[in-house]
A and B are shown apart, each in its own frame.
Chain A
């Protein structure tokens, strides 16, 4: 995705699309595979010799993996190393802006992949042994 982050008025909005070749494949897939006029509805297609690739680029994320991704992201937050206040928030935001969308996303994906592998191996271990911990956040309600 080629994105100009500093064009236009203030540059707070990333821009793309518009036939200039600046759309990413994901954006294009979302538009032209899911929406628009469907030719088969109007035309009895009987073409011989044309092979069409089946495309399903939509990413299905299993919910447990999504949950673990957010638990991990939360763990990476340095909650206590920073004081409260606007300054830290600004620094955080600037870091994100400087890093750019691509860097941050791929970092997140890498982390998710690492995490996924760790999770898979730890899950296998846990299946062999008995689970050592059980969720206990409901114990109070159960007692009462």
Chain B
């Protein structure tokens, strides 16, 4: 029995870009079609464990290169099946389900926006606006580090709370500004206090220039206190139903 790596699913009549490089020993990537659906596949390295940095990057690169050609349902890493199971278990029995998702996402791509506060600018503002934080900050400054341990923890905690309060408002503003240009939005609360928003936007291909311009406008308006990173076009990772 041989193992097959699956990167994602596309419509059977869609074309793949030619220069894809897979994570298997052959490096080649191909498709296996069944009905109206095709799986993007390659061989799998058998002499080492799967999951190296290069494996992860190869998976993403294949999926997101296909995005420029056609709509793709990305698999979560790692997706390995037995060659026989590909049609018998994956493409065959779940065909309608996958086609329905593919149809819903057709013609759309994902952009992921990450916004992070310019830390010093925000800290300065918080110190200016919050008297309790300012006082504690002054108190901590004057003491030797060891002596002020509890006060420093308290100071940090107050700052983190202040940041979190702000980002609720700022994240909502950011999403509200870009929402009109997207078919769907999926937001995640970032784990770091200085990260304001982690939002995935599902954008119609035709609407990409307008969306892009809106992000650039947002960047221009906020660059003194916010740093924006835009990833995309990506496969619609955030809009795949979670079973």
B-binding residues in A (CB < 8 A) = 3, 8-10, 12-21, 23, 25, 27-29, 31-39, 41-55, 58-59, 61, 63-64, 66-75, 77, 79, 89-90, 92-93, 96, 101, 108, 118-119, 122-123, 125-126, 131-135, 137
Contacts and interface: CB of A to CB of B under 8 A. Distances in A.
Contacts of B73: 36-37
29 contacts: A12-B219, A13-B215, A14-B227, A15-B229, A16-B229, A16-B230, A17-B231, A19-B66, A33-B77, A36-B76, A36-B235, A37-B9, A38-B76, A44-B85, A47-B82, A50-B44, A51-B48, A52-B80, A53-B51, A61-B191, A63-B157, A64-B153, A66-B156, A71-B140, A71-B155, A72-B152, A77-B127, A131-B149, A135-B150
A38 B243 contact: yes
A108 B212 CA distance: 30
B170 interface: no
Contact of A23 (B44, B68, B192, B231): B231
A35 B74 contact: yes
Given A14-B228, A32-B60, A89-B121, A133 B148 contact: yes
Interface of B: 1, 3, 6, 8-9, 44, 46, 48-53, 56-57, 59-68, 73-82, 85, 89-90, 93-94, 112, 118-121, 123-124, 127, 132, 136-137, 140-141, 143, 145-157, 159-160, 163, 191-193, 212-213, 215-216, 218-220, 223-224, 227-235, 237-238, 240, 243
B157 A67 contact: yes
B74 A37 contact: yes
B124 A79 contact: yes
B123 A36 contact: no
A140 to B, nearest CB: 11
A135 B243 CA distance: 48
Contacts of B157: 63, 67
A118 B65 CA distance: 46
Contacts of B230: 13-16
Contacts of B80: 39, 45, 47, 50, 52
A53 B49 contact: yes
Contacts of B90: 39, 42-43
A75 B140 contact: yes
Nearest to B98: A37
Given A18-B64, A25-B57, A77 B229 contact: no
Nearest to A118: B145
B75 A39 contact: yes
B220 A10 contact: yes
A74 B127 contact: yes
B147 to A, nearest CB: 6
B98 to A, nearest CB: 8
A72 B50 CA distance: 40
Nearest to B186: A35
Contacts of B163: 70
A122 B146 contact: yes
B231 A18 contact: yes
Given A25-B57, A42-B90, A93-B223, A18 B74 contact: no
Nearest to B86: A43
A25 B53 contact: yes
